[in-house]
Amino acid sequence: MKPADNHWFITNVKAIVQDTVVEGSIIVENGIITAIVEGQFLPAENEQHRTIDGNGSWLLPGFIDMHVHGGFGADFMDANREAYDTITRYHAAQGTTRMLATTVTASKEAIEAVLAAANDYVSGEMDYAALGGVHLEGPFISELWPGAQNPAFISPPRVDWVKSWNEQYPGLIKQLTLAPEKERACELIAYLAESGIVAACGHTDATYSQVTAAADAGLTQAVHTFNAMRGLHHREPGTVGAVLTDHRITGEIIADGHHVHPAAIRLLVGAKPADKVVLITDAMSAAGLGDGDYDLGGLIVDVKQGVARLREGGSLAGSTLTMIDAFRYMLTHTDLSPAEVSRMASGNPARQLGLAEVTGSIAVGKRADLVLTDAAFTEVSHTWVNGRLVHGS
């Protein structure tokens, strides 16, 4: 009998189980973690299970990337299944088990094409990392902080658009990024909060008081903290000051050494509670490929030595980062333990998305969304999504 695809004995691993490290084995049946066994464990012969010997490697909860635009030459704005397979295949090989298809500021028609394509994709068989929904980054952002977003398509907040999209595709939109200082922004934030959609500030010139007012309305996240937002000043703490001090707000961070200085990363993790920081990649289509010219929302991006910048103006334009690289960067440049970084890469985004009861950590009864990596966190050898091996052999 052929071993079931989602029945596994994963032995001889250092597993991050909640906030501790367990050296032992994990048993997966029907895609669900059914046992965590400390110490040496030799399973009885069972044709229904495949065995993977981790040889002392790290077993982590699968990474959840709430902010990713593409990878390996494809972009979610391409709005087709082939592109989405390319992106989810590439990032699954880097340890990501769930992601949000992130848009850029674009025309209403282009955004609607992504929604239609993502809805079709999640309705079918997903062979690699799971697409968990859509993150609309814009178009309701500040003209003062466009970053690598196309300013030609910036729009005032349109509650009617978002309501229509959410009614047409119930549950598909998981996050929306906007500038909370804009007119009707708090009305839209309140609608998002009522609808179970993460309302995030980003590409914003909001003052401290405007951000706290947005949090009163239901804002719960800050997109790529420190980047494309009003900075910290001791008399006007700005967007950054509000994110650092208002613990209703979870801060995303791009830990690649280019977007944010390591001291600023340490400031964020020191200021925020342990469950209020989320690692993201903000990866664009160039991730996984070499230097060259790329497109992001109709703007030309030059990638040199792995750093993506707009050709016109030189703004950073997303990244070529992967979640495993972000994980390793955090270990190298902070005093955080692997378990603490794992919470930022998996547990915290699961909580933000309302999935903490089923994924985001290794626990009996949860989905087997798992990543096996080497001792230095440089290579991902195996990735499982709901107990199904999507990377490795």
- Taking the alpha carbons at both ends of the chain, their separation in whole angstroms is 18
With beta carbons less than 8 A apart as the criterion, state whether 202 and 177 touch.
yes
Active-site annotation holds for 282: yes
- How many angstroms from the chain centroid is the CA of residue 381? 20
The catalytic residue among 65, 75, 256, 282 is 282
How far is it, in rounded angstroms, from Cα 339 to Cα 126? 29
139 cis-preceded (ω within 30 degrees of 0) = yes
How far is it, in rounded angstroms, from Cα 381 to Cα 293? 30
Residues ≥6 apart with Cβ < 8 Å to 248: 215, 219, 220
With beta carbons less than 8 A apart as the criterion, state whether 382 and 371 touch.
yes
Both structure tokens of 126: 């997903």
Strand 388-391 relative to strand 380-385, pairing: antiparallel
Both structure tokens of 254: 């791009």
With beta carbons less than 8 A apart as the criterion, state whether 309 and 302 touch.
yes
With beta carbons less than 8 A apart as the criterion, state whether 207 and 192 touch.
no
Q: What is the 3-state secondary structure (H, E, C) of 134-179?
A: EEEECCCCCCCCCCCCCHHHCCCCCHHHHHHHHHHCCCCEEEEEEC
With beta carbons less than 8 A apart as the criterion, state whether 47 and 116 touch.
no
* C-beta atoms surrounding 170 within 10 Å: 10
* Residues marked as catalytic: 282
